[in-house]
Amino acid sequence: MSSYFTDLAQQYIDGEWRPGTGSWDIIDFNPYDGEKLASITIATVDEVDEAYQAAARAQKEWGATNPYARRGVFEKALRLIEEREQEITEVIIAELGGTHLKAGFELHLAKEFLREAIHLALRPEGKIIPSPVDGKENRVYRVPVGVVGVISPFNFPFLLSLKSVAPALALGNGVVLKPHQNTPICGGSLVAKIFEDAGLPAGLLNVVITDIAEIGDAFIEHPVPKVISFTGSDKVGRHVATVCASLFKRSILELGGNSAIVVLDDADIDYAVDAAVFSRYVHQGQVCMAANRVLVDRSVADAFTEKFVAKVRTLKVGDPRDPQTIIGPVINSSQADALSATVEQAIADGATALVHGTTTDNLVEPSVLTDLPADSPLLKQEVFGPVAFLITFDGEEEAVRLVNDTPYGLSGAVHTGNIERGVNFAKQIDTGMFHVNDGTVHDEPIVPFGGEKNSGVGRLNGDTMLDAFTTVKWISVQHGRSGFPF
């Protein structure tokens, strides 16, 4: 594993591994024990330009390559991930503080998305559309956009980089990837290494490890990329969208959430508890789809709360290398401090702590809070960590109002003994995704993924990848002579 952090601690530009030329280094730390994993000299604006220019040059030939031939790269990449799964698991645990359970979840989905990319290469279809003009043939082609810029987050960096990079490449584009500073290997150079070893032509995929303190908006303002795919916070996403709109670029924004899991009066309580605990505490709660809020009908609230609290108390907190650990460290100390402050602020505002977790370094124990004032701003914001808010309601109408009372609209779930009641409930919620009798954390390669409101713009997965990473072009052919008025 250590070789990944030495060999891959570089920029990857135009098929070459090389150090950045910036004046300072990004230090990659293990969030559990503080071990220094890698030191990476950052990329400058010049290297961002070189990466985009390399992608633009390589894309011309790649875009004209038979899609059946393109598929071979993704088939090989899939095999490489399967062969290296143990080493990649160790890297995820070290760099993210992800548990064995989380690493397995991330790698399973990464392989599924690569399998879909293999098929996606053959998905673009053209059309011939009738014309009111005699002898005219309207052809509509679906073509690559050219070059795509991808900005990935720290929570599922390997998966969420691949999720945009693989489809964009499969559809004939070049790509420049900028991983999060806290996960430069998993989210950046590891992805490049796999595609390099899979035989992807040089220049098509480039990785720049850098910071906005060095490059400002150069990554999104550069004239080469026609699409920017960003996954991260709504605050940064709003800025990305603004810059892209001013330059007439397309932006695909997968942003934060404030999801709720709802337990109706006819729910299977034991099953709902299991779903709610997983939905809130998977990967320390650092998941955009995580259930910040657990809404329970008052008639079953006592029974649910007792079992929910009991289960949360059993979650093992500690070293993510221990296969028994459920909750490892959050990504950094600022995140840990912010979560501690959130819990204390809630208690100061009148909340009751049914479980009051402590924080040691980056290990944040789970907390369960109830009795928050209805107007608490904490109920409307995303809390990216192992803190659950329990809220009681009286009847479905109030539940719908409470779930929708947030600026976000990503995911959610409802538990009920009546499937159609659950579907009817789901239809009333302003989210891009909602699940009946399940958890809130789901992603599947052919189902449209994305949010409403502050949770993003656009969709990924399946056929929506065509909308994200290709464009349509109308070419008309006039058979015979056309008539002109002068």
Active centre residues (catalytic): 254, 288
- Residue 169, amino acid: L
Question: Is the separation of the CB atoms in 32 and 360 below 8 Å?
Answer: no
Q: Name residues whose C-beta falls within 8 Å of residue 245's C-beta, 6 or more positions apart in sequence.
A: 251
Tokens of 353: 């702590």
- Amino acid in position 36: K
3-state secondary structure (DSSP) of residue 302:
helix
Query: What is the spatial distance between Cα 433 and Cα 20, in angstroms, rounded to a whole number?
Result: 40
Widest CA span in the chain: 84
Cβ atoms 271, 306 nearer than 8 A: no
Torsion, CA 384, CA 386, CA 387, CA 392, rounded to 10: 110
Question: Strand, helix or coil at 291?
Answer: strand
Question: Could you tell me how many residues make up the chain?
Answer: 486
DSSP H or E run through 333: helix 333-348
Cα 52 from Cα 58, distance rounded (Å)? 10
